[in-house]
Amino acid sequence: MPDNPSRYTLPPHPVLKGYYDDEGGRKKRVKQLFNSTASHYDWINSVMSFGTGERYRLEALERAGLKSGDAVLDIGCGTGVLARHEMDVVGENGFVLGVDPSEGMLQQAVARGVSRVAMGRGEKLPLQNERFDFLSMGYALRHVADLSEAFSEYFRVLKPGGTVLLLEIAPPKSRLGYHLIKLYMKHIIPLITRIGTRDKNAQVLMSYYWDTVEQCVPPHLILEALESVGFEKVERKVLFGIFGEYTAKRPAPTKP
Ligand SMILES: C[S@@+](CC[C@H](N)C(=O)[O-])C[C@H]1O[C@@H](n2cnc3c(N)ncnc32)[C@H](O)[C@@H]1O
């Protein structure tokens, strides 16, 4: 853990000049991309994952220990895929709040049945301390400005003993796997997206998706950033060589 956590910064990836010029430009561009493509997102997600994306997210929540009655925060909730599953698991005794900076995405989440949503970013949550038992972020980690800043916020809003689950893709380690997944995500998926949606922005979004995955800091730095803000039991499970599930706990107070 660094001596002064406030001085430890970790942007998830460098500035991607083909899309924007600086941090201010990144925020604006990412918001514009997600806003303008929100109505296509579920279709793209389903095609890209061969229809398995929804089920996979539910299983990941179960593996991370989400339970009935939990108070849940889903950050970067997008169209509410994770949040909707979370509502089913926590039931009437719990609640789920979905947060996202894109109003287009939040509208889709509400249409899906996510009843509590708020506009916000992972790096600066408009929420009080120690409010949630479980916090999730699905495939949105690459879009925050700074991982340490965002993780400090996650620590702050979780109750002691609370769990964080981050779903994120990382390129496979094998050369062949890497080239195959790059061909699929960088070229095939943006092309299918363009044909299926007839929307240039949706094609750019999917191209950007791969570029941020490829340029993202390695998983061990994400694990270290979680530890650096105070999380314990920090782990990463990997499925099929690319699907990462990061879990961590806010330490519970020790009994006297
Ligand atoms: C790829 S979508 C993921 C949606 C959903 N979580 C899922 O599992 O499908 C990424 C989402 O992150 C949101 N996002 C962008 N910047 C963000 C930030 N700084 N903090 C939180 N969410 C952000 C986008 O608006 C978008 O809805």
Residues with CB under 6 A from ligand 1: 30, 34, 45, 75-78, 81-82, 100-102, 105, 121-123, 138-140, 143-144
Question: Atom 25 (ligand 1): residue with closest C-alpha?
Answer: 102
Ligand 1 midpoint to CA 178 (Å) = 24
Ligand 1 midpoint to CA 244 (Å) = 16
Please answer whether residues 89 and 18 qualify as being in contact, where contact means their C-beta atoms are separated by less than 8 angstroms.
no
The CATH H-level superfamily of 5-169+215-249 is Vaccinia Virus protein VP39 (3.40.50.150)
Please answer whether residues 122 and 98 qualify as being in contact, where contact means their C-beta atoms are separated by less than 8 angstroms.
no
What are the average pLDDT values for consecutive 10-residue runs of the chain, which has 256 residues? 57 89 89 95 93 94 98 98 98 98 98 97 96 98 95 98 97 93 95 95 95 94 96 96 96 84
At residue 1, the pLDDT reads: 41
Q: Give, for ligand 1, the residue of 42, 77, 210 to mutate: max count of ligand atoms closer than 8 Å to Cβ.
A: 77
Q: What is the rounded CA–CA span in Å between residue 65 and residue 70?
A: 10
Q: What is the rounded CA–CA span in Å between residue 53 and residue 212?
A: 19
Longest C-alpha distance within the chain, in Å? 63
Q: What is the rounded CA–CA span in Å between residue 164 and residue 136?
A: 6
pTM for the predicted model, two decimal places: 0.94
Annotated domain spans of the chain: 5-169+215-249
Convert the pLDDT of each residue in 154-189 to its tens digit: 999 999 999 999 999 999 999 999 999 999 999 999
Q: Please give the structure tokens belonging to residue 150.
A: 């965002």
